[in-house]
Chain A
């Protein structure tokens, strides 16, 4: 527990939230005063009211389900493929030395720009969205799996050897549990990239769930609903990051 909870916890939280509320109120006042063009920036109160319309008329729950399903499938794919490829590269040192820098380069490359290519291969479908999420999220899982496995303490591996564990037992009883926190860091990073790409490609190809909803609303020029949908996607993304961050902290071994 901190010695000054008021200063260290409450004050920053109040300042952050207070500034946010003040900024929203200022925008509301400036639009009503005609200083900000209401045809470009909708009233924050209208945006808040539009959430009801998003739920009632735009079937946001179904859109959310579609995006969640695409992100979930892509997430499962990066987890399975990333951990297996990471394990392969950990086992085969030469292959790791040859390809690890390539995978790192791929992690920083603008892979989302491949979406027209995926459109040609998979068509304007959920497959394109899922594959784009997969390609974007795979490199961090591979890299962190290698890092986690390679970082297993030698004493743990020696204990496994002294107990004459089989290679499978060595992996399931020693390597995997020791590497799991680091692997999850990679999965979390991969899931973030996957989610960004899934929503982004939905928006770009006008297909799927929440990304398409924003595109639809914008094309209909439903201003406050467009802003409300963007706010909803941000809220979903932030919630996702907070949950995965909590899991990551929970898995991290005690210092």
Chain B
């Protein structure tokens, strides 16, 4: 359902699993909506609330953080920390009147090319449907 809005989405992908999965989506020529730009980090645990909230403040309508499936983290525990921080951040977003649905944490393995495409497209649709982020319209830096 296209309401014509073109969302700006930032995706933080971990180098070992999710970035590889995204590459595989490309190798498989999956069709992905052109609203999400990828930033590569070594581990999803590099990402924290500060980084994510700043991203919203600067105009992101949606943020996707992708890492390895629990148990598969290249650095063993990183994605568990990401998961914990993320859960906490979701709660904080409610108080900030920033819809928690604008933030998504997905576990994507290196072999899940098609799934990466599905995750991004579904998320893009959701964000498109939600329209511009309230942070984007009310806060100017």
Answer yes or no: do A and B interact: no
